[in-house]
Amino acid sequence: EEGINVLFGVEAFSEDHSCATLKAVSICASVALVLSEQLHKPTRCGSFKNFSYVVSSGQQRKISHENDEVSDKTVVYDLLKLGCPLSVQSSEPFKPIIDVYDGETFVKEVDVNYVLWEQHGRAGYKYSKTMKEVGCMREAQSWEKMINSMKGGSIESAWSRENYQTCFQESADGSISADNLYERYEILNSSGAASHIVWTDVGTFVFLLKVLDPEFSFCNLTVEFGVQVHGVRSAMQEIPTFVVLGSACLTIMALMLSAFHTTALCSE
């Protein structure tokens, strides 16, 4: 019996780009960043309902790709969007711990590089380490450099996972120089060797946190949150409280002794 030869062809089709985009959007829609501190912060903060504050021109960062004139700015705190702000002392180093959630399910802690951008251009904080101290082999990216090199778009979009470059590898094209490794390193990481935030002012801050590492996720992972920075009370500020409490205790003791003696005399 003769065999039957069957001829067939296979034609490969590339996935339509719009379909791939829709799939990515669908997957990323349920993925969110959550600050670990937010899980333990107060859920009620009535003082921030209808709360507004002024960021003076002297409190703002002088970074703008359009060289806009800086003026005082009134900010209305969006409690519905941001929730209660994290409460920190100005003397405490600050580096948020971020977790990734898929819906209500914890996925993992973010252990890669991320950056913070103060949404209203406020200064009042700096970074604890220089590029040299963290081991950069060339000058690292920074908000000022990224904003100055951007071509249109919002300022906070100037630095993202799409244009992130590490400073721990030598540049192949020399696009980022190693001239100044003594500038502050503005990239944060859960590693103890990385920078943390040092507060130089008190008040309300609103941050956008953005994950930079493109290998961590194909989703653009961001989260916004508020921080209320409180000043440290000095020893002189603590004295009135101590005096009031001490006086109250002495008064109570005197009244108790007086009552005891009165009772003793009346019983004789």
pLDDT single digits (tens) 97-156: 999 999 989 999 999 999 999 999 999 999 999 999 999 999 999 999 999 988 877 888
Strand order across the 31-35 sheet: 31-35, 98-102, 105-109
Q: Are 97 and 35 a contacting pair, CB within 8 Å? A: yes
Which backbone phi and psi does 8 adopt, to 5 degrees?
Answer: -145, 155
Please report, to the nearest 10 degrees, the dihedral formed by the alpha carbons of residues 106, 107, 112, 118 taken in order: -40
**Where does the pLDDT of residue 209 fall: very low under 50, low under 70, confident under 90, or very high at 90 and above?**
very high
Name every residue whose Cβ is closer than 8 Å to that of residue 49 and which is 6 or more positions away in sequence. 79
Question: 74 or 3, which is more confident?
Answer: 74
Q: Where are the domains of the chain?
A: 7-19+49-263
The pTM for the full model equals 0.75
Residue 255 is predicted with a pLDDT of 61
Percent of the chain with pLDDT over 90: 53
**Where does the pLDDT of residue 191 fall: very low under 50, low under 70, confident under 90, or very high at 90 and above?**
confident
Least confident of 28-42, 67-81, 189-203, 230-244: 230-244
Name every residue whose Cβ is closer than 8 Å to that of residue 164 and which is 6 or more positions away in sequence. 113, 141, 212, 213, 214
